[in-house]
Amino acid sequence: MTLTTDDPPVSPAVRRSAELEQQLSLDPGRFRVLTGDRPTGALHLGHYFGTLHNRVRLQDLGVEVFVLVADYQVLTDRDVAERLTEHVEGLLLDYLAIGIDPARTTVFNHSAVPALNQLLLPFLSLVSVAELGRNPTVKDEIAHSRQSAVSGLMYTYPVHQAADILFCKGNVVPVGQDQLPHLEVTRTVARRFNERYAEVFPEPDALLSAAPLLLGTDATKMSKSRNNSIALGAGADETARLIKGATTDADRHITYDPARRPGVSSLVLLAALCLGRDPHEVAAEIGNSGAAGLKRTVTEAVNTRMAPIRARRAEYAQDMGYVREVLRTGNERANAVAEATLREVREAMGMFL
């Protein structure tokens, strides 16, 4: 993908990510990746191009990968985690379908790893209440929350997320831009723990996806809970229907201009990502075919690119016994790692062992 003069200036996090990317391919054995998802709904194309695809690439480079099903984190913006089993199984199917290999990658859910959760207590002591209140991602989530009162977990989950990352001494975290404040919290927790007690934790780096942000079909942020996304497991007809209903504009001439034409440009981008091509070129080819022509191109590109993933997903769905076993095995491994880290932490803190 080419950068144009319209693109925003490169931030330090993006620059750091590019350096990391090089080191990862040169020396994959030095790195341990941790990343995860909340089981609140089906993973969608935004997740795929933003982070899921990257996980598989890292796994295939030979980096050790941990993938977390962040079940406790569901309770940050709602009172009850609804249809949890269904959502957890959906995530597992998505992971397997995109090529996560449980023989190389540890998949676990954090409520099944008690020692990980226990790290939250010492970690909370390292962060001030004022710092918790300043987190921009938390503020945004509070603005979109469906709860009448903001819970303590909303303010503290970024510290819990530090435990998610640090229990396995993850040093690379592939995430989207919205997670950067949380990664800063993790780095702060690691640094302060090391200064106050003993050198136990790495200060992990974010690995940002090179793909620009995809919008939902309503031209706002694509989100599991906003009903504007195309799920990885969606069928070809459902995909066609969702794209047909997507927001565009009245200009028949299709261009890639994210700032001025968010709806049209996000569709162009989706086609370009699926085709592995430059969005400006894809837009130029569609030219004067209007929104209908654009939507035909996008639908075909998505359905072609996703067909093998959807086929594998359907196959795994026939064998849910195996799918659940993947999580049980991952949890066993995550527990062993978490217990070893907790022991180190308690020792560093001078607790009775």
Among 92, 119, 165, 306, binds ligand TRP (CB under 6 A): 165
**Identity of the residue, 299 or 331, whose beta carbon is nearer to ligand TRP in the bound complex:** 331
CB of 75 to ligand TRP, least distance (A): 12
At 180, the amino acid letter reads L
Q: Which stretch binds ligand TRP (CB under 6 A): 35-43, 276-284, 287-295, 315-323?
A: 35-43
Among 42, 58, 70, 275, binds ligand TRP (CB under 6 A): 70
Q: Helices 152-166 and 136-144, interaxial angle, to 10°?
A: 130
What is the edge-to-edge ordering of all strands in the sheet holding 205-208?
Answer: 105-109, 64-69, 32-37, 172-175, 205-208
CB of 35 to ligand TRP, least distance (A): 4
CB of 121 to ligand TRP, least distance (A): 17
Residue 33, interface with ligand TRP (CB under 6 A)?
Answer: no
Among 20, 24, 33, 34, binds ligand TRP (CB under 6 A): 34
How far is the C-alpha of 55 from the C-alpha of 36, rounded, in Å?
10
Q: Which stretch binds ligand TRP (CB under 6 A): 11-19, 172-180, 215-223, 233-241?
A: 172-180
Q: What are phi and psi of 293, to 5 degrees?
A: -65, -40
Three-state SS for 335-353 is: HHHHHHHHHHHHHHCCCCC
CB of 352 to ligand TRP, least distance (A): 30
Q: Which stretch binds ligand TRP (CB under 6 A): 13-21, 28-36, 293-301, 319-327?
A: 28-36
Among 77, 89, 164, 205, binds ligand TRP (CB under 6 A): 164
Using CB under 6 A, which residues numbered 224 to 253 contact ligand TRP?
Answer: none
Residue 38, interface with ligand TRP (CB under 6 A)?
Answer: yes
Size of the site for ligand TRP (CB under 6 A): 14
**Identity of the residue, 68 or 92, whose beta carbon is nearer to ligand TRP in the bound complex:** 68
**Identity of the residue, 74 or 274, whose beta carbon is nearer to ligand TRP in the bound complex:** 74
Which residues in this chain contact ligand TRP in the complex, by CB under 6 A? Answer: 34-38, 68, 70, 73, 161, 164-165, 173, 175, 179
